[in-house]
Structure 1
Amino acid sequence: MQRIAFKMKLNKGQKQAYKARHDKLWPELKQLLKEAGVSEYSIFLDEYTDTLFAFQKVSGNNNSQDLANNDIVKKWWDFMADIMEVNPDNSPVTMPLEELFYLD
């Protein structure tokens, strides 16, 4: 099992919209993530900087970032593009984070 963490950037004032959309995560997207080996996925918000911190536990060598060519994922990105920083293809701008400590 690997642990993956990354940062994203939420647009100012979009906390409630972001939470509401994730509270109603599409069943087909949830299933896709599970099938890709994602067993845990948490996203935290630093309200002072509007930085999102994401954490995943993943079996195998994949993670949600490897699903870029999937139509469901592309549709989700389009749905989220108005409330966060995105790349030209509407994928979230992400910055991988290196794990420096883990207490098991």
Structure 2
Amino acid sequence: MIKKMFKMQLLPGFKEEYEKRHQLLWPEMREALKEHGAKHYVIYLDEATNALIGYLEIEEEERWQKMKDTAINRKWWDYMADIMETNPDHSPITQDLVEVFSLYEKEKR
């Protein structure tokens, strides 16, 4: 499993709208994420700075990278562009974060 962590930026005043849109995540978007190897995906908000911190576990990088070229993903980017900092193609501006520590213990059976 590959762990990825990244930072995005929510525009001020859009916390509730961001949460609402994700609570109503389109079924076809959920399916596309799964098809492209997403196993665990969580997004946190730092309310002091409006920074969004994403944590994602994927099966393989090459498969995951194909997600950005899907029609449903581009449609999602367009849908979210009015409440986030984005690139000209409406993809979110992201900054990859580097793991510097991990404490993970497998459950013993």
**TM class, shorter-chain normalised?**
over 0.9
**Which residue pairs with 2:4 in the alignment?**
4
- Check whether the contact 1:43–1:53 (CA below 8 A) recurs between aligned residues: yes
**Which residue pairs with 2:39 in the alignment?**
39
Change (3 A) 1:52 1:17: same
1:1-104 pair list within 5 angstroms: 1-62=1-62, 66-104=66-104
Shift of 1:39: 0.5
- Check whether the contact 1:10–1:51 (CA below 8 A) recurs between aligned residues: yes
Shift of 1:69: 1.4
- Check whether the contact 1:77–1:90 (CA below 8 A) recurs between aligned residues: yes
Q: For structure 2, which runs of at least 5 residues remain unmatched after alignment?
A: 105-109
Q: For structure 1, which runs of at least 5 residues remain unmatched after alignment?
A: none
State the superposition RMSD in angstroms: 1.3
Shift of 1:72: 0.4
- Check whether the contact 1:38–1:63 (CA below 8 A) recurs between aligned residues: no
- Check whether the contact 1:77–1:91 (CA below 8 A) recurs between aligned residues: yes
| SS of aligned partner of 1:68 | helix
Report the count of equivalent residues: 104
So what's the TM-score if we normalise by structure 1? 0.95
